[in-house]
Chains A and B, each alone.
Chain A
Amino acid sequence: MNPATTARYHALLEELRCLVCQNESLAESNADLAEDLRTQIREMMARGASNKQVIHFLVARYGDFVLYRPPFKPITYLLWLTPFLLGLAGLIALMYRIRLRARHKDIPLSSQEQRRLRELLNGDNKD
């Protein structure tokens, strides 16, 4: 394989999960199956297979779980979008509370409340 393909091969291995030791990529895993799949992928790429073709080959046999990056499809919409939706919801809630507080600020104090305020501000030597 030429240097470009070799680089592509190594990069792709990092994106693929070893199904035996599931927190390791195909690049890192020492499992037998990982070695077999590395050999298989190397052979495919040496014969000119693109990343897409290799990925298609593996997903057809092992499913989406072999990819570290879950694909964006209907079943994973919630997985991908929930962080943004929650962030958006939080932002909206925040803006709502700020606006609420701002509205309350415009209500002027009654004369009773003004007297109480003055007492409190002047009378800290009482306590």
Chain B
Amino acid sequence: MAALRLNLNGKEISSELSKLTRADIYGDSKTRVLGPNDEVLTKAGVSENGRDYLTRGDFKHALAIGEEFTLKPTQVVNALDGRPVEQVPSSFAVAPKFEPASADEVAQLEVDVVYRLNDAQLEAGSRFIGTFNYRAGYEKKDAVIIGKAEGAFLLVGTLKKASFVGMDVDSQLIAAEPAEEETGDGDFGSL
């Protein structure tokens, strides 16, 4: 993997990243489904006609507008004004800038991915906040860098800022709550 260049409060550092998962720290668990004679079984979806058993790879996703499928090129636009959005370059191409941050700011990050900065030497307890995009994309991802006795870590996710709530709570707050994603029967994600 290419080394990542970072600008930490005006000081440029360079380090290789290694992804750190929950399984690396606590271990992991996986489920197996066994049939008669301990044969490993494969999960499949039953199509609406009841005849086809669909496994991973049997289906693709196509774009449709209403009932009509389309092969027209797509465009990514701003959700509010509809203007085309420029791509955010990968942080490996453009060195991201990080500024010192308070513990309160850092605690607002809902973390998706954790990387260890293998070659970075940071003071234990130091905290920086900025953005980091592993790949080029259309939205910047929030990130913090934390210095610990065990090394330096890059945490990537989304900053979640809660708003203050009064007695007359805006019912839109609760109405806008999206359903939690579930993967169960009848869902392609479960295959």
The answer to whether A and B assemble together is: no
